[in-house]
Amino acid sequence: MPLRWIHRHANATETSWRDLTRLLLFSVSLLALSVVSVAIDWRPNDATLQTGSIADRTIKAPESLSFTSALRTAERRKEAYDDQRNVITVHDENVRTEQLAALRQFLDAADELRVKRDVSREEAAADLQAKLGDLPVADATRILGLSSASWERVRAESIRLVGLTLADPIKQDEVRPRKDSLADRLAPQLSSEEQSLVLAISRPFIRANVHIDDDRTHANREAAASAVEPVTVNVLAGQAIVRDGDIVSAYDIEKLEKFGLLNRAIDLSTRLGRSALMVILTMVTIGYL
C-alpha cells in the first residue's frame, strides 16, 4: 500500500513538472511572438526609393496637400539667375585707341626696316616678323619689297580697317568671325597683293572690346532670382505620386517626404510601449490557463 501510494505520488509530481515546463515554454513563445509582432514595422519601407531608382509599387497620396516645393522654386530661381538678359556688357573704347597705337608702332617699325641698308632682307624680315608674331615671314618679306606708293596704300588701309572694325562692339566669341570678315571691308581699289598684306597686318590687332560688368550683372541676377515667387505644388488624395515601374524623380521624392511616406520607421518609445502592452496582455492570458 505505501509503495503504491508513493509510486502514484511520484507520477503525479512528474506530470505536474512536465505540465509546468510546457506551460512555461508556451508562455515564453507566446510572449516572444507577441512582442516581435508589434516591435517590428511590417509595413512596406519606402525608404529604399531614391532618385533614379525604379519604383517597385504604386504609391498614392493618403490625403490632399498643398506645399511649397523647395526643389521647383530653386530651379525657377536658378533659371532666372542664369538668364542672359541679366548680363550687363560695357563697350571699352580704350581698346580701339590702344590697338591703333600698337598698329602704328608696328607700321613705323616696318618703315624703318624698309629703308635700313645695313641688314639683309632676310634679317629685316625676321625682325619685322618678330614684332608681330602672327605675321608670316613670307608676308614680312613682301612688305619690305613693296614700292613706296604701294606701301603707303597698305599702311593707310590697315589703319582704316582696324579703326573701323574696333569702332563696333566685339565680344570675345565674335573675334574670330570679325577677323574672317575683314576682307568684306577692304577698299576695292587695292591690288590683290595689297589686300592680302592689309589682312595679314590687320587681323592680329582685332580683339574683343566688350567686357562684362560683374557688379551690375551680379546685382541683376540676384534681383531676378529674388523676384521668383515660391512654387506651390498641389496633390489630391488618391493621386499617384509614383507608379510601379516608373523611374523615381527628385520631385517624387520631395512629395513622398512631404507626406511622411519616406523613413516611416516606428520610433523607439512607440515600440517599447507596444511591447509592454503585449507583455501585460500575454501575462493575463497565461493567468487564465
**What DSSP letter does each residue of 150-199 carry, written as one string?**
HHHHHHHHHHHHHHHHHTS---GGGHHHHHHTGGGGS-TTS-HHHHHHHH
User: Residue 280: pLDDT above 80?
Assistant: no
pLDDT-derived band at 12 (thresholds 50, 70, 90) equals: low
Once rounded to an integer, what is the mean pLDDT over residues 252-259? Answer: 92
Q: What is the pLDDT of residues 69-118, one digit of tens each?
A: 999 999 999 999 999 999 999 999 999 999 999 999 999 999 999 988 88
Question: How many CB atoms within 10 Å of residue 95?
Answer: 17
- What are 97's three cell numbers? 585707341
The amino acid at residue 135 is: L
**Whole-number pLDDT of residue 28:** 63
Kindly give the residue spans of alpha helices, DSSP state H, lying in the chain.
Answer: 2-39, 70-82, 94-115, 121-131, 137-145, 148-166, 175-180, 192-202, 214-226, 250-258, 268-288
Q: What is the pLDDT of residues 106-144, one digit of tens each?
A: 999 999 999 888 888 899 999 998 988 888 999 999 999
User: Residue 266: pLDDT above 80?
Assistant: no
Instruction: With H, G, I as helix, E, B as strand and everything else as coil, classify residue 261.
Output: coil
**Whole-number pLDDT of residue 43:** 47
**Higher model confidence: residue 146 or residue 262?**
146
pLDDT-derived band at 197 (thresholds 50, 70, 90) equals: very high
Q: Are 231 and 218 in contact (CB under 8 A)?
A: no
